[in-house]
C-alpha cells in the first residue's frame, strides 16, 4: 500500500467548513477512483489545520486515481469552495508500510457521532532505511509494557511522485507510527530514548480527534 499523510494549513476559522464539504462531497468521489480515504481529523490545539490520510494499492493506481478525481466533475464543481478555505496544502508525506497497517472498517454515514478516541501520530526524522527494525526490536516492547500498541507504522516511500500537480515533501527519511487511545484522558507518552541516536531532527507529534466519517475511530 501507498499512503499519503496530508496536513493542510487552513484560513482562520475555516477548518470545519472544509470538513463539512469534504465529508459530504469528496470521500465517495475519491474512493470511486480506487483510493481509500483512511482517516480525517481535527488536530488538538491547532484549530487551523486539517490532517487526513488516504491510501492506494500501489503507485500506478495512485497516479490513475488522482488524475481521475482531480480531473473529474466533483472536484471541478467544488474546488473553488475547498481552495478558499486553505492557505497551504503541500505538507504531505508519501509513505509505505513498515509494520502493522490500518484496520479496515466500514465508513459511518454523514451526520454520524464524532468518536471519543484520540490518535497520536509520531513522526521521526531518521538516518538510514533500517530504522523500522530498531523500532520494532527496542521500542515496541517498551510501548507494550506501558499498554501502548502501535496501530500502524509507516516509512518514507521514495518512488517518484508521478502526480506532481500535488507536491509531496522531498528529501526526507521518516518513520511514522500511530497510537490510539479510547479517550484523550487515557493518552500517555512513553520515553523511547533508545531511538534518539538515530534522529536527524526533533520528533513531530500530532494529537488527532477523528471526524464523524473517519474510518479510523
Query: What per-residue confidence (pLDDT) applies to 129?
Result: 84
pTM of the model: 0.94
Q: Which residues of 54-89 are buried (b: 16+ CB within 10 A; e: fewer)?
A: bbbeebebbebbbebbbeeeebeebeeebeebbeeb
Is residue 196 classed as helix, strand or coil in its secondary structure?
helix
Q: Which domains does the chain have, with CATH numbers?
A: 2-210 (3.30.70.100)
Assign 58 a pLDDT band (cuts: 50, 70, 90): very high
At 205 the pLDDT is: 97
Alpha carbon separation from 120 to 2, 4, 78, 166 (Å, rounded): 20, 16, 31, 25
pLDDT band at residue 203, thresholds of 50, 70 and 90? very high
Could you give the CA distance from residue 161 to residue 128 in angstroms, rounded to a whole number?
A: 21
Question: Could you tell me where the DSSP H helices lie in the chain?
Answer: 15-21, 27-31, 59-70, 73-83, 131-134, 140-145
* Cell numbers given for 77: 464543481
Q: What is the pLDDT of residues 35-57, one digit of tens each?
A: 999 999 999 999 999 999 999 99
Residue carrying the nine cell digits 473529474: 72
Cell of 60: 500506478
Say which residue the cell 507494550 belongs to.
Answer: 144
Amino acid at each position: 500500500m501507498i499512503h499519503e499523510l496530508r496536513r493542510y494549513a487552513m484560513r482562520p476559522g475555516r477548518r470545519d467548513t472544509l470538513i463539512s464539504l469534504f465529508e459530504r462531497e469528496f470521500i465517495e468521489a475519491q474512493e470511486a477512483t480506487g483510493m481509500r480515504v483512511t482517516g480525517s481529523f481535527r488536530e488538538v490545539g491547532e484549530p487551523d489545520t486539517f490532517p487526513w490520510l488516504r491510501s492506494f494499492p500501489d503507485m500506478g493506481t495512485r497516479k490513475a486515481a488522482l488524475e481521475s478525481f482531480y480531473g473529474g466533475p466533483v472536484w471541478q464543481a467544488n474546488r473553488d469552495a475547498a481552495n478558499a478555505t486553505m492557505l497551504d496544502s503541500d505538507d504531505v508525506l508519501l509513505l509505505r508500510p513498515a509494520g502493522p497497517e490500518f484496520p479496515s472498517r466500514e465508513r459511518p454515514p454523514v451526520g454520524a457521532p464524532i468518536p471519543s478516541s484520540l490518535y497520536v501520530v509520531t513522526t521521526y526524522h531518521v538516518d538510514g532505511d533500517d530504522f523500522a527494525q530498531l523500532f520494532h526490536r527496542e521500542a515496541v516492547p517498551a510501548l507494550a509494557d506501558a499498554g501502548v500498541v502501535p496501530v500502524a507504522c509507516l516509512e518514507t516511500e521514495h518512488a517518484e511522485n508521478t502526480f506532481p500537480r500535488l507536491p509531496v515533501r522531498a528529501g526526507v527519511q521518516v518513520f511514522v507510527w500511530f497510537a490510539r487511545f479510547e479517550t484523550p484522558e487515557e493518552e500517555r507518552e512513553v520515553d523511547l530514548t533508545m531511538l534518539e541516536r538515530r534522529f536527524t531532527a526533533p520528533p513531530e507529534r500530532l494529537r488527532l480527534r477523528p471526524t464523524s466519517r473517519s474510518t479510523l475511530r
